[in-house]
Amino acid sequence: MTQASPAKVPAHIAIIMDGNGRWARERGLPRIEGHRAGAETVQRVIEACRQAGVRYLTLYAFSTENWRRPITEVAQLMKLLTTSLGKHLAQLQEHRIRLHAIGELERLPMPVRRALQSAMRATAQNDAGVLTLALSYGSRAEIVAAVRQAATRAMAGTLRIEDITEESFASLLQTAGMPDPDLIIRTANEMRLSNFLLWQASYAELWVTPTLWPDFGEEDFRRAMADYAARTRRFGGVV
């Protein structure tokens, strides 16, 4: 197979990592085992993106709505997050990848926040790529927070209404400074966005696979990239 031309490699891939629970259930295991296996997939996918030349990878790890899950699952997930962050750090440093996080981070338990802060600080100068974790993230909450900021500035007289544009509004979102995702991958066959990057996904290409997240591997990644490269993005125009 010939290598895709650089223009056909997405600059930004965002992934809705779904199906951990189903993976565990199929094996008669507790759900947390699916999340553990899913955390290992994360390391493989970071590496696959790096090798393919994808500069931005955003992973939906925990949604605002996921707080509704049973308290024991939430607690186990938070613990897993803390330990995984420690494990991922060496990989990020080795490849000069900067860690970033979006979401209502203040809702996360202290140990997770501390692990996040120290990993973000340690990788702050890395410039080969950006890994963004969406944690306690919900797109509607993100948009409402941006609206509040704009309104506050407008009332204080530091922002003119006519200066609220798509660009200036996007700069108030937590993804400010990042390109919009080119490709959104969702595993476990669900055909929905589940409150993920609603503004930013306007023109993203969507790619859904029945593969459950813990099983997501090189072959799925290669197929997603090949399908993306074969698509025509029109952005409303005529090509």
> Looking at the annotation, which residues are catalytic?
18, 66
In the complex with Mg ion, which residue's Cβ is closer, 37 or 146? 37
In the complex with ligand IPE, which residue's Cβ is closer, 65 or 219? 65
| Least distance from ligand IPE to the Cβ atom of residue 218, Å | 20
The tokens describing 138, both together, are 């919900």
Q: Does 19 bind ligand IPE (CB under 6 A)?
A: yes
Q: Does 216 bind Mg ion (CB under 5 A)?
A: no
How many angstroms separate the CA atoms of 126 and 118, rounded? 14
| Least distance from ligand IPE to the Cβ atom of residue 95, Å | 24
Q: Does 48 bind ligand IPE (CB under 6 A)?
A: no
132: partner contacted, choices Mg ion, ligand IPE, none (Cβ within 5-8 A by kind): none
Q: Does 138 bind ligand IPE (CB under 6 A)?
A: no
Q: Does 18 bind Mg ion (CB under 5 A)?
A: yes
What distance, in Å, lies between the first and last C-alpha atoms of the chain?
A: 26
Q: 49 with 5: CB under 8 angstroms?
A: no
Binds ligand IPE (CB under 6 A): choice among 9, 17, 39, 185: 17
Binds ligand IPE (CB under 6 A): choice among 194, 199, 201, 215: 194
| Least distance from ligand IPE to the Cβ atom of residue 16, Å | 5
How many angstroms separate the CA atoms of 7 and 176, rounded? 22
Binds ligand IPE (CB under 6 A): choice among 9, 13, 18, 133: 18
Residue 189 per-residue DSSP state: T
Residue 176 per-residue DSSP state: T
Q: Which of helix, strand or coil describes residue 99?
A: strand
Binds ligand IPE (CB under 6 A): choice among 10, 13, 14, 20: 20
Binds ligand IPE (CB under 6 A): choice among 26, 40, 163, 190: 190
Q: How far is CA 83 from the centre of its chain?
A: 19
Report the b/e string of 72-104 with b at 16+ CB within 10 A. eeeebbbebbbebbeebbeebeeeebbbbbbbb
How many angstroms separate the CA atoms of 195 and 16, rounded? 10
- Rg of the chain taking only CA atoms, in angstroms: 18
Give the amino acid at 150.
Answer: A
Binds ligand IPE (CB under 6 A): choice among 8, 22, 79, 95: 22
Q: How far is CA 213 from the centre of its chain?
A: 14
Q: Which stretch binds ligand IPE (CB under 6 A): 60-68, 103-111, 113-121, 124-132?
A: 60-68
Q: Which residues bind ligand IPE (CB under 6 A)?
A: 16-22, 60-63, 66, 77, 188, 190, 192, 194
